[in-house]
Chain A
Amino acid sequence: MAELTYREAVARGIAQEMERDPSVFFIGEDVAAAGGVFKTTEGLLDRFGPDRVRDTPISEQAIIGAAMGAAMNGLRPIAELMFSDFFAVCWDMVANQIAKARYMTNGQVALPIVIRTANGGGARFGAQHSQSVETWMMAIPGLKVVVPSTPLDMIGLLAAAVRDPDPVVVVEPKVLYASKGDVPDGEIVDELGVARAVREGGDVTICVLGAMVPKALEAAGRLADDGIDAEVLDVRSLVPLDVRAIADSVERTGHLVTVEENPRLCGWGAEIASIVADEKFYALDGPIVRVTTPHLPLPSADVLEDAAIPSVDRIVEGTRRSLG
């Protein structure tokens, strides 16, 4: 057992998979010699050499496109997109090429690709380096999407993503890179499509993801002081989505809150709310409440950014509202 930061967990996860499988390669901007702009990939170049750990030009379309072509010809590439906002620069590769190739060719093409990306706000970077874009990927048939919230999940979900035969986007909340957690020794492999209750409770289900997990836990602690026993469900995987875990929890609690860092419209919580409204309507004893960032680009100043991203206070308030 060792205590690791989330950023160290990224490197450990990649190393674990590169060690295991010689067809795993890793590319991205500044990822090799410099160890990544967030220092998430330090040491990989020394360990695996410049053929398998490669710096690329600033060519997001070529990075993602090359990963696709390589996957078509026998590699299992991991490609880093420095900031998730840059998905907009290579969206054709992600949304039209990678996502559609297998279906369009009736299964002739297998694309075991992992795209890793630093996502979300809290770092005061301003609107073009801060957005939570996991719902963009969730909206495209043919992409799997996971969001690890702890160092242990980072390693396990990354390993599961690398081993998965389909394209998987691993969304890393950049504000969590310095966070720490215990990680056991030895190989760690998790499973895509499995939510986890990070706090069990019987009064209300709070569905949460990524950087919002620690905030929801804090909110649950505060609610407990008032006698409200919240279940905090870390969704972890948007595609595949663990609807059973969510539905079972709501069945027990009768109340649902989603806490999303993404801007309001079409956030993942809306999909979950719609599923629960459809399939668990008669288990609900109160309104489904979504706590989200307002429908805005993220501002830079501390005060403004903090006002935008869901806070512990807003989660507490939203949860109370769901209880009626």
Chain B
Amino acid sequence: MSDTDTAEGTEVADLEARLSIYRMMQEGRLFEERARDLFLQGLVKGTSHLGIGQEAIAAGFAAALEPDDLVFCTYRGHVHTLLRGAPMAALMAELLGRATGICGGKGGSMHLTDVSHGAMGSYAIVGAHMPIAAGAAWAAKARGTDQVAVCFFGDGTTNIGTFHEALNLAAVWALPVVFVCENNLYMEYTAIGDVTAVEHPAADRASAYGLEPILIDGNDADVVHTTAVRTVARARSGDGPSLVEAVTYRHGGHSRADPGKYRPDEEVAEWLRRDPIPSYRERLLAAGADEGTLDAIDRDALAAVDRATEEAREAPFPDPDTLETELWADGGSAWRN
């Protein structure tokens, strides 16, 4: 990855902001590890797609956003939703199918949404949220709000039509949206390089939409954050969309069912060495952070996850009467009189 930016020479945020990014990554990591454990215990049904290994992208961007900005993510969206400020216990409860879940148990792992915190949904049809994010940005522009929409998606998503339709529309209407490709090198089980006509699935397509190619190390939270600040500022100032390709790696398989055996051992080992969290910790220590402060962040994050887990596990299951609620804005689901 010699052609990606690195932290060297980049203007980084102040130590306090970086500690906050560290805290966010750690909360995301511990939340995901707990989610995985709960799955293995059979307490969470269905499927899950964890963001372990990719936290620097979520945290770097989350730290660059204002409260009323709008984030759109995929089924691999637990960490993005959490870092927007969604209450952890309500997210955990949603995974566990409880009444107190953020979507009342109707959404599940792949659809975590907290509109009150600008987490505008986790979308499970590859690419669908890209035009939707563009539309939210269109409304922001039309209404003259200062909002920016940020849309996270995977490398595999660059080969579906919505990617191209959304980028073209966003560019031609100069919409305040940042599209962030989390290039974790794989779709489900297929390496992106095996099925893509260009080497960098997002960055190499940017010029087709008149955009600057932006290829960064997605495991370097400082680089991600700096890029986020720059692209979000560009969007907010009316200069239009950006397309960022952040190269990263998921430590586990695609979903709960996938051991990830299609990946060479050396490749996995190499990327585990490049885990975004320990390296960031080292960097913050070198920058003058106090070890005790970092330890306290780790402890607090774990305590928060423990509390959220307890709260979620004690929560009741949804009342079956809620089955037929909230299809329509009147709260019901009647299709006839």
| Chain B stretch 91-145: residues in CB contact (< 8 A) with chain A | 103-107, 111, 113-116, 120-121, 123, 125, 128, 130-140, 142-143, 145
Interface residues of A (CB under 8 A from B): 23, 25, 51-52, 54, 56-57, 59, 61-62, 64-75, 77, 92-93, 96-97, 101-110, 112, 141-142, 164-166, 193, 239-244, 275
Say whether B326 contacts A69, CB under 8 Å.
Answer: no
Beyond A106-B105, A108-B113, 8 additional contacts (C-beta under 8 Å) are: A68-B132, A70-B135, A73-B147, A74-B139, A97-B125, A105-B111, A166-B328, A242-B336
Task: Please provide the 4 A-B residue pairs with the shortest distance between their CB atoms, ordered closest to farther.
Answer: A69-B135, A65-B131, A66-B135, A165-B329
Q: Does B70 contact A (CB under 8 A)?
A: yes
Measured between beta carbons, the chain B residues less than 8 angstroms from A74 are: 139, 143, 145
Interface residue? B195 (CB, 8 A):
no
Contact between B142 and A61, CB atoms less than 8 A apart: no
Judge whether A59 and B115 touch: CB under 8 Å.
no
Name the A residues within 8 Å of B121 (CB-CB): 101, 105, 109
Contact partners of A52 in chain B: CB under 8 A: 142
Which residue, of A106, A109, A142, A244, has the highest number of chain B Cβ atoms within 10 A? A106
Query: Is B162 part of the binding interface, using a Cβ–Cβ cutoff of 8 Å?
Result: yes
Q: Is the CB of A61 within 8 A of B334?
A: no
With A103-B327, A105-B113 known as contacts, the answer to whether A72 contacts B162 (CB < 8 A) is no
Chain B residues with CB under 8 Å of chain A are: 70, 72, 103-107, 111, 113-116, 120-121, 123, 125, 128, 130-140, 142-143, 145, 147, 149, 161-162, 165-166, 168-169, 172-173, 322, 325-331, 333-337
14 examples of A-B residue contacts, CB within 8 angstroms: A54-B173, A59-B131, A62-B168, A65-B134, A66-B138, A68-B132, A70-B136, A71-B139, A73-B143, A93-B128, A105-B121, A106-B104, A141-B333, A166-B329
A51, A70, A141, A244: the one within 8 Å of B337 (CB): A244
C-alpha gap A66/B175 in the complex (Å): 11
Q: How far is the CA of A178 from the CA of B166 in the complex (A)?
A: 35
Q: Are B169 and A72 in contact (CB under 8 A)?
A: no
From the candidates A68, A101, A107, name the one contacting B331 in the complex (CB within 8 A): A107
> In the complex, A244→B162 CA distance in Å?
42
Across-interface contacts of A193 in B (CB, < 8 A): 337
Q: Cβ of A57 and Cβ of B143 under 8 Å apart?
A: no
Given known A97-B125, A103-B327, A241-B335, contact A69–B106 (CB-CB < 8 A)? no
CB distance from A28 to the nearest CB of B (A): 13
Residues of A within 8 A of B116 (CB): 108
Our pick among A65, A166, A244 for the contact of B135 (Cβ within 8 Å) is: A65
Interface of B is mostly: mixed
Query: Are A62 and B166 closer than 8 Å at their CB atoms?
Result: yes
A97-B132, A109-B115 given as contacts; is B172 within 8 A of A57 (CB)? yes
B143 and A62 contacting across the interface, CB-CB below 8 Å? no
Taking the closest CB of chain A, its distance from the CB of B133, in whole angstroms, is 6
Q: Which residues of B contact A97 (CB under 8 A)?
A: 123, 125, 128, 132
A105 with B165: in contact, given A51-B142, A65-B134, A69-B132 (CB under 8 Å)? no
Question: Within 8 Å CB of A241, what residues of B?
Answer: 335-337
Chain B minimum-CB-distance residue to A89: B161
Residues of B within 8 A of A110 (CB): 329
Asked if residues B165 and A62 are in contact (CB atoms below 8 Å), the reply is: yes
Out of A69, A93, A165, name the residue touching B136 (CB < 8 Å).
A69
A residues near B142, Cβ cutoff 8 Å: 25, 51-52, 70, 75
